Amino acid sequence: MLISHLHHDHCHLPSLRRLAPGTRVVLPRGGAGLLAGLPLDPVEMGPGDELSVGSVGIVAVHAFHDGRRHPGSRWVGPALGYVVHGSRRVWFAGDTGWTDRLGRDVGRVDVALLPVGGWGPLSRPSVQGQHLDPQQAAQVAASLPAAVAVPIHFGTMWPAGLPAHRHRAFLGPGQEFRRALAQRAPDIAVHVLEPGQALD
């Protein structure tokens, strides 16, 4: 299990309790204490750290996002992305905002899993700079390079305070990403998945 950062919606203890005992849980350095009392195998990582699990390698890479559990929390760790490599190289970007450094420690990948939406409207001061929008995510995908891009982090958890008439802000980022990337890098295949859908 790869955990990108310590926010409650990404490091959700009730969900982690459902994992099989002994499951290895990779999370940002400073967060293993959150899992105390759970029968799991936590492994802390920071940017640049590497881990092998069988024939699969995992490299922690930079993400640009608030690493605190919540404001004022004693649980703090760096927000991370992960490059998972075996027969293919996959970049899970985690939650991240845009900087010109994003993706520089990733290299060429077969698949890029890129967040394209935020928690509620991206214009809120509390989340500005913390998430990629579809156009920024397309810019990142085009710069990698990647063979396949999959938009993530949209359309699965209804944001508190988002009125029903603004559902396009909730469901639309995946297709907006597809259109933006088609203009920037038409050779990159985009797969917009429904929740629960798999990609081989």
User: Could you report the per-residue pLDDT of 34-57, keeping only the tens digit for each?
Assistant: 999 899 999 999 999 999 999 999
Predicted local distance difference test score (pLDDT) of residue 100: 87
Distance between CA atoms of residues 146 and 183, nearest Å: 15
Predicted local distance difference test score (pLDDT) of residue 86: 95
Distance between CA atoms of residues 66 and 7, nearest Å: 8
Residues of the chain with pLDDT under 50: 123-126
CATH class of residue range 88-190: alpha beta
Predicted local distance difference test score (pLDDT) of residue 161: 66
Predicted local distance difference test score (pLDDT) of residue 14: 93
Assigned token pair, 169 = 């802000």
Predicted local distance difference test score (pLDDT) of residue 150: 97
Predicted local distance difference test score (pLDDT) of residue 49: 97
Predicted local distance difference test score (pLDDT) of residue 184: 95
Q: Kindly tell me the number of DSSP H helices and DSSP E strands found in the chain.
A: 4, 9
Residue keyed to tokens 């939650």 = 95
- How distant is the alpha carbon of residue 180 from its chain centre? 19
Assigned token pair, 63 = 């993400």
Predicted local distance difference test score (pLDDT) of residue 77: 86
